A and B are shown apart, each in its own frame.
Chain A
């Protein structure tokens, strides 16, 4: 029982990492109706920028917010320079651009900062919160941050005009234009926000997994899986999805005899696919109805 609790808590801690990423994924999905492969790499690059700023003497919170600002600007820039020229191209070509971005960012990160791991500080410290090292202060802090970002996102989309405009631009660009929404800038804004959330995610994740150019790859996959399982249209669902993936993965690895320890990843993915069979739009997702 003890082990079970411990694994669940550890799962929630890793799940918080996935949930962070899942939020960024959902954010970009809401904005452009597609999944950006390069999201993780952008988050990683942002984290490196923060690290570099701290190396140059910035205090943590200064570096934190400056990085968010830089990431936001970068996201907007990427959308305007790279995606605007091809916005009429088929969707699959967009996906290839995401892939290209992934490779470019990863390559530059490795070139500039090389591949040895670097430690990244946590603003929450590492003291245990629930005795006996069941949960560290950072893990708890990370979950709190996820919650805050989630609330902010929810509020933004539900209660602000810009949020509404963005949702409109993504759902039906032509109609949105007709009512005066500047669709192009909504897309750019979406990218900027996704990049900013990604930066937050990266800075929360790096203290746990150590900073290096390849740190985000599997996290992006799990975050994506979590977002899909929770429902790509629902930030809350994505976060819950992220947490579930973390917990399921840990429990599968621990309690499924023989197979579990070697096939953790496969089992987690199989379960995700199984969930999708039953609820094809994710647990909390709304079914998108399109006109024929």
Chain B
């Protein structure tokens, strides 16, 4: 894999620019304030859509940790999303567990699943790993429909779930409450991701991505870190899946076909591989652009979507991350504002 991704360059800038931090913090705060205020002034349907977008963002973030920061190519994250969703659904429906606790539960289950999958996958590289993960995603609906499991999974009929009400009698409706709940989870996951990526573990992950042989030579335990990353990545996507089960209020095998894995992957690339905030861009793209495409042409919605995707890649080959990097490089004003890349030459 190429080492000179926009992410590494952005990261280098970050590491070299402590003075840039206050600006970034300011932007983050403004964004946060906007996100908190939004549902109070929007229609329920829009709030619902944004909640879904946040859910996708968490899932894409999970995929990013694996592919963007650890270099393991996965086309099967839909499977972990499904496992998370079904864990949540089964716990809520059959064991009456509260929605608050199913999220971490789904996370744990998926972490284990991801770790276990990551172990044998250690031997596979690039396209071969892609196939293995793809196979998992393709097989998932069939596994979910499997008759002996029907008692728990509801088989092809799926499981219907109740939406929770706001607790403590807060003056928000169900959609708004779910929005805030998801927002809170999103922030948590993002903070954790930032910490992970900046820590020793994160450096090990990135080292493995950039040059596995060198990493190994320097004493990084490849097997451990690769499997761990798989587990964490699955955990993120599983949490997203669990949230989606609550937001959509329904799980069924048809909700988790391989098309989902493909969409998450598209979201990853559009947002920018190896750039954490990219998950938000990617999520917004995969949620809203299909509606746009449908608006343009009913019969050729798919073609319009595909063409938009191609144009996007033409304009921003490295996703939103690449676009930002371009702005950094091209516009002195922006660069000065961020005052971080002094001395870094193109």
Contact = CB atoms under 8 A, between A and B. Distances in A.
Are A and B genuine complex partners? yes
Interface of A: 29, 34-35, 82, 85-86, 88-93, 95-97, 99-104, 106-108, 110-111, 221, 224-225, 228, 232, 262-263, 265-266, 269-270, 272-273, 276-277, 280-282, 292
Given A82-B310, A100-B306, A280 B123 contact: yes
30 contacts: A35-B127, A90-B273, A90-B318, A91-B1, A92-B269, A95-B265, A96-B265, A96-B270, A96-B309, A96-B313, A99-B266, A99-B306, A99-B309, A100-B310, A100-B313, A103-B303, A107-B306, A111-B303, A262-B145, A263-B146, A265-B139, A265-B142, A269-B138, A269-B139, A273-B131, A276-B124, A276-B128, A277-B123, A277-B124, A292-B214
Given A108-B300, A270-B139, A97 B265 contact: no
Nearest to B262: A99
A183 to B, nearest CB: 18
A280 B126 CA distance: 11
Given A91-B2, A263-B146, A273-B135, 5 more contacts: A90-B2, A90-B317, A224-B131, A228-B131, A276-B123
B22 interface: no
Interface string B309-334: 11001100111000000000000000
Nearest to B133: A273
Contacts of B307: 100, 104
A-B CB proximity, top 7 nearest: A107-B302, A89-B317, A104-B306, A269-B135, A266-B139, A107-B303, A103-B306
A35 B127 CA distance: 7
B313 A276 contact: no
B113 interface: no
Interface residues on B, range: 35 or more
A282 B127 CA distance: 11
A239 to B, nearest CB: 17
Nearest to A285: B128
B134 A221 contact: yes
DSSP class of B's interface residues: helix, strand, loop or mixed? helix
Contacts of B266: 96, 99
A274 to B, nearest CB: 9
- Residue among B135, B138, B273, B303 having the largest count of chain A Cβ atoms under 10 Å: B135
B69 interface: no
B190 interface: no
A263 B141 CA distance: 10
A34 B73 CA distance: 13
B147 interface: yes
B221 interface: no
Contacts of B127: 29, 34-35, 228, 232
Nearest to A218: B138
Contacts of A280: 123-125, 128
Nearest to A224: B131
Contacts of B306: 99-104, 107
B309 A276 contact: no
Contacts of B268: 92
Contacts of A92: 67, 73, 265, 268-269, 273
A97 B310 contact: yes
Contacts of B135: 225, 269-270, 272-273
B65 to A, nearest CB: 15
Contact of B132 (A89, A265, A276): A276
Contacts of B303: 103-104, 107-108, 111
Nearest to A265: B142
A292 B211 contact: yes
Given A92-B67, A107-B301, A86 B128 contact: no
- Residue among B266, B270, B306 having the largest count of chain A Cβ atoms under 10 Å: B306
A263 B273 contact: no
Interface string B1-41: 11001000000000000000000000000000000000000
Interface in B127-164: 127-128, 130-132, 134-136, 138-139, 142-143, 145-147
Interface string B278-320: 0000000000000000000001111101110110011001110
B96 interface: no
A100 B265 CA distance: 12
A281 B123 CA distance: 10
Nearest to A35: B127
A102 B302 CA distance: 9
B169 interface: no
B171 interface: no
A29 B130 CA distance: 14
- Residue among A93, A99, A272 having the largest count of chain B Cβ atoms under 10 Å: A93
A192 B7 CA distance: 34
